[in-house]
Chain A
Amino acid sequence: MSEKSPRAVLRTKHHLSVGDTVMTATLGPRTRMVRALLSALGIAIGIATLVAMWGIPASQEAQLLADLDAQGANLITVYPGVNQQDQSPIPIPQTAPEMVSRIRPVRHIVTMRDMRDFNVFRNDKVPASQTGGITAAIAEGDLLNTLNVAMADGRWFDKASEELPTAVLSDAAARRLRARAGSAIWAGNQWWAVIGVLNPMKLAQQLDSTVFLAPKVAAKLQPDLPISGIYVASAPHKSAAVRAVMPQTVNPADPRGVQVSQLSDAFLAQELFAEFFLILSLGMGGVALLVGGIGIANTMVVAVMERRGEVGLRRAMGARTGQIALQFVLEACVIGLGGGILGVGLGLYIVFCYTAVAQVIFAVPGWILAAGPALAIAIGAIAGLYPSLKAARQSPTEALRTV
């Protein structure tokens, strides 16, 4: 038996075990399952939106990275630089492709020359004003291997066809011209036989509405075209080294007049797009979460009113005000958690459906599996705070005076 004075005993607290706390906090939702589920729905939709909007760009990104991996080497692009004083382009020397191909880790190279004032049409009946945004270009070198693209239809130029008025179309150009291998297109006031169509060029989307003309024929029509770009595929993991020597190699006289970029740069542009998407979805998800929070608060206000008698009884049984407040706050958290788990599940399902349709890798950042429910719990806690304090603050006699 203790020697403590009664007052000293009264000043020490009894604590609920974790298990008892959980059982007490889940009593309400377990009693009114449907109501708890309905009030968790808003949170679930909000969390699902966030998961989906994080997961979809992440999946796109994962696919892009996988494509990069599949290529086995990083792609480096060389463009003409711009004179800082008068903004005029600094041409790439015509010797550059030859010099670049001598860099040892360079595996594949293709040089682009855009045709000048060369309109491309489906046939000779289309008015000249409707150019359709299609570029004609000469691709010299190994485009297929450099850009890791395959033919969707027909074939690339060979020794015979490069001497004839033939053309290979990129994916978008083919769709816009409604042409395929075997058709003909009208470009630069003459007919060209289409001998092939490329698959979409994931690694060089800027080339996707280009018509590639037979190099020998086109070069005869427009000799001495400036180089509009050089695409270089380096050996695996050597792209940084190749990139470092690129300006010197391309233009030894004016290395700073060369613009060298890597796919990762294009990547950033895509991330920017993803960021915009993210902000939009954050807004949408935020609104859903706000509405969800209000739903939980509403449920808790009703629950606290309905369960006044229970509150009074618990106070009579010796529950402290803090324990009553905690019970209801945790109850709101439980509803929030339910919504969070539901939302993560729903969000993952949406991302899964997207990846199945878009044929990209399913990739959702792992932290979101924890962050979703955590956010939902936090919202539940905030929503439940006011009703819980209200429940705890009423006097026991007031709470017990219920019929």
Chain B
Amino acid sequence: MTVAPSTAEFAPVAHLSLREVNKVYPGNPPLHVLKNVTLDISPGEFVAVVGPSGSGKTTMLSIMGTLDSPTSGEVWIGGVATRRLKEMERSRLRSDQIGFIFQQFFLLPTLSALDNVATGMLYQGISKRVRRERARRALDRVGLSPRAGHRPSELSGGEQQRVAIARAIAGEPAILFADEPTGALDRSSGRRIVTYLRDVAAGGTTVVVITHDHELAALFERRVSLLDGAVVGDERLAEAAVR
């Protein structure tokens, strides 16, 4: 795996660590969405986060990805305490170190698959030529090279999500977060997506995936269960079942 010039300024892979993380949404009554979550994820781990709807999975992922701040506690990414980072510093951290995949894909409808992937590195300070070159490679990794010139509307849901994966990994993030990436897809497309994500993790990237689907959750090395904002389970699955 080649290391991006921008990420070379950091340790190439990052340890992710949550310490006593709480999230309370103000209101009447206040909503205690995350309760004392403490979690350590090592570089290159392939982790599923499971739990019923409303259990706080998305909130936890957002806080781990610095899109949101905890009410108390600390999130460490590669040795950086993120809670007191300025907005600008979080942006830089996200651009260089973190990739995101969402259930809704969020592809730009007028751009080709290739341009969508290249846009993923727009805020990384990489020249357009290099962005396109890496985008081509990333599309190749998700098996979509032949569709590089197609617009999202010309692709199936599974293919669109593969474009989104390519977009998230093209910038070579240390950590990849995916919030129900298979939620809008049929079972076989979903399985394929998880396989691609597992390959990404095998390449050294930490991959944290929220999923509803228990059958898909069985494909991960580790499964963290949330219930009402608390971690109620953290199992390591047999190595043999994964690879």
Chain A residues within CB distance 8 Å of chain B: 1-2, 4, 6-7, 9-17, 19-20, 24, 27, 30-31, 309-310, 312-321, 323, 395-397, 400, 402-403
Task: Judge whether B106 and A309 touch: CB under 8 Å.
Answer: yes
The residues of A that contact B62 with a CB separation of less than 8 Å are 396-397, 400
Task: Judge whether B102 and A400 touch: CB under 8 Å.
Answer: yes
Task: Judge whether A317 and B8 touch: CB under 8 Å.
Answer: no
Other-chain residue from B8, B9, B104, B124 in contact with A318 (beta carbon distance below 8 A): B124
* Majority-rule SS of A interface residues: helix
Interface mask (B1-23 → A, CB under 8 Å = 1, otherwise 0)? 00000101110000000000000
Other-chain residue from A10, A15, A30, A321 in contact with B80 (beta carbon distance below 8 A): A10
Task: Judge whether B123 and A30 touch: CB under 8 Å.
Answer: no
Task: Judge whether A16 and B122 touch: CB under 8 Å.
Answer: yes
- The A-contacting residues of B in range 182-223, CB under 8 angstroms, are none
Q: How far apart are the CA atoms of A395 and B91 in the complex, in Å?
A: 12
Task: Judge whether A2 and B122 touch: CB under 8 Å.
Answer: no
- Stretch in B38-46, B81-89, B133-141 with 4+ CB within 8 Å of A: B81-89
Task: Judge whether A10 and B128 touch: CB under 8 Å.
Answer: no
Q: How far apart are the CA atoms of A397 and B25 in the complex, in Å?
A: 13
Task: Judge whether B68 and A396 touch: CB under 8 Å.
Answer: yes
Task: Judge whether B91 and A20 touch: CB under 8 Å.
Answer: no
**Residue of A4, A19, A315, A318 ringed by the most chain B CB atoms within 10 A:** A318
Shortest Cβ distance from B78 into A: residue: A6
Contacts between the two chains (Cβ within 8 Å), count: 107
Other-chain residue from B67, B88, B89, B108 in contact with A400 (beta carbon distance below 8 A): B67
A314-B123, A396-B67 given. 20 additional CB < 8 A pairs? A2-B9, A9-B96, A10-B85, A10-B89, A14-B95, A14-B123, A17-B127, A24-B122, A27-B111, A31-B108, A313-B102, A315-B94, A316-B100, A318-B123, A319-B122, A396-B62, A397-B67, A400-B62, A400-B106, A402-B104
Task: Judge whether B104 and A309 touch: CB under 8 Å.
Answer: yes
> What's the minimum C-beta distance from A59 to chain B, rounded to whole angstroms?
43
The residues of A that contact B123 with a CB separation of less than 8 Å are 14, 16, 314, 317-320, 323
The residues of B that contact A320 with a CB separation of less than 8 Å are 87-88, 91, 123
Task: Judge whether A321 and B128 touch: CB under 8 Å.
Answer: no
Shortest Cβ distance from B100 into A: residue: A316
Task: Judge whether A13 and B92 touch: CB under 8 Å.
Answer: yes
Other-chain residue from A1, A7, A312 in contact with B106 (beta carbon distance below 8 A): A312
Ordered nearest first, which 9 A-B pairs have the shortest CB separation?
A318-B95, A14-B125, A318-B123, A10-B89, A313-B106, A396-B67, A318-B94, A316-B100, A320-B91
The residues of A that contact B88 with a CB separation of less than 8 Å are 11, 13, 320
Shortest Cβ distance from B3 into A: residue: A1
Task: Judge whether A317 and B128 touch: CB under 8 Å.
Answer: no
> What's the minimum C-beta distance from B113 to chain A, rounded to whole angstroms?
15
Q: How far apart are the CA atoms of A316 and B90 in the complex, in Å?
A: 10
Q: B143 near A: Cβ within 8 Å?
A: no
Q: How far apart are the CA atoms of A167 and B167 in the complex, in Å?
A: 91
* Majority-rule SS of B interface residues: mixed
> What's the minimum C-beta distance from A36 to chain B, rounded to whole angstroms?
13
Q: How far apart are the CA atoms of A403 and B89 in the complex, in Å?
A: 28
> What's the minimum C-beta distance from B92 to chain A, rounded to whole angstroms?
5
Q: B109 near A: Cβ within 8 Å?
A: yes
Other-chain residue from A11, A309, A317, A397 in contact with B89 (beta carbon distance below 8 A): A11
Task: Judge whether B10 and A6 touch: CB under 8 Å.
Answer: yes
The residues of A that contact B233 with a CB separation of less than 8 Å are none
Task: Judge whether B92 and A9 touch: CB under 8 Å.
Answer: yes
Interface mask (B43-81 → A, CB under 8 Å = 1, otherwise 0)? 000000000000000000010010110000000001110
Q: How far apart are the CA atoms of A332 and B95 in the complex, in Å?
A: 26
The residues of B that contact A397 with a CB separation of less than 8 Å are 62, 67-68
The residues of A that contact B79 with a CB separation of less than 8 Å are 6
Shortest Cβ distance from B11 into A: residue: A6
Task: Judge whether A27 and B108 touch: CB under 8 Å.
Answer: yes
The residues of A that contact B65 with a CB separation of less than 8 Å are 316
Other-chain residue from B8, B87, B93 in contact with A2 (beta carbon distance below 8 A): B8
Shortest Cβ distance from B59 into A: residue: A397
> What's the minimum C-beta distance from B168 to chain A, rounded to whole angstroms?
9
Shortest Cβ distance from B62 into A: residue: A397
The residues of B that contact A30 with a CB separation of less than 8 Å are 110
- 23 A-B pairs with CB atoms under 8 Å apart are A1-B8, A6-B80, A7-B80, A7-B89, A9-B96, A10-B92, A11-B92, A14-B92, A14-B124, A20-B128, A27-B110, A27-B111, A309-B104, A309-B106, A310-B106, A312-B106, A313-B102, A315-B67, A318-B96, A319-B122, A319-B123, A320-B88, A400-B67
The residues of A that contact B102 with a CB separation of less than 8 Å are 313, 400
Shortest Cβ distance from A318 into B: residue: B95
Q: A17-B128, A397-B67 are in contact. Are A310 and B78 (CB under 8 A)?
A: no
Q: B181 near A: Cβ within 8 Å?
A: no
> What's the minimum C-beta distance from A15 to chain B, rounded to whole angstroms?
7
The residues of A that contact B67 with a CB separation of less than 8 Å are 315-316, 395-397, 400
The residues of A that contact B9 with a CB separation of less than 8 Å are 1-2, 4, 9
> What's the minimum C-beta distance from A226 to chain B, rounded to whole angstroms?
81
Other-chain residue from A10, A317, A395, A403 in contact with B122 (beta carbon distance below 8 A): A317
Q: How far apart are the CA atoms of A396 and B102 in the complex, in Å?
A: 13
Q: B158 near A: Cβ within 8 Å?
A: no
Shortest Cβ distance from B89 into A: residue: A10
Q: How far apart are the CA atoms of A267 and B128 in the complex, in Å?
A: 58
Q: How far apart are the CA atoms of A402 and B96 in the complex, in Å?
A: 25
The residues of B that contact A317 with a CB separation of less than 8 Å are 94-95, 100, 119-120, 122-123
Q: How far apart are the CA atoms of A313 and B65 in the complex, in Å?
A: 13
Shortest Cβ distance from B109 into A: residue: A31
**Residue of A24, A316, A320, A396 ringed by the most chain B CB atoms within 10 A:** A316
The residues of B that contact A7 with a CB separation of less than 8 Å are 80, 89
Task: Judge whether B94 and A9 touch: CB under 8 Å.
Answer: no
> What's the minimum C-beta distance from B8 to chain A, rounded to whole angstroms?
6
Q: How far apart are the CA atoms of A344 and B79 in the complex, in Å?
A: 57
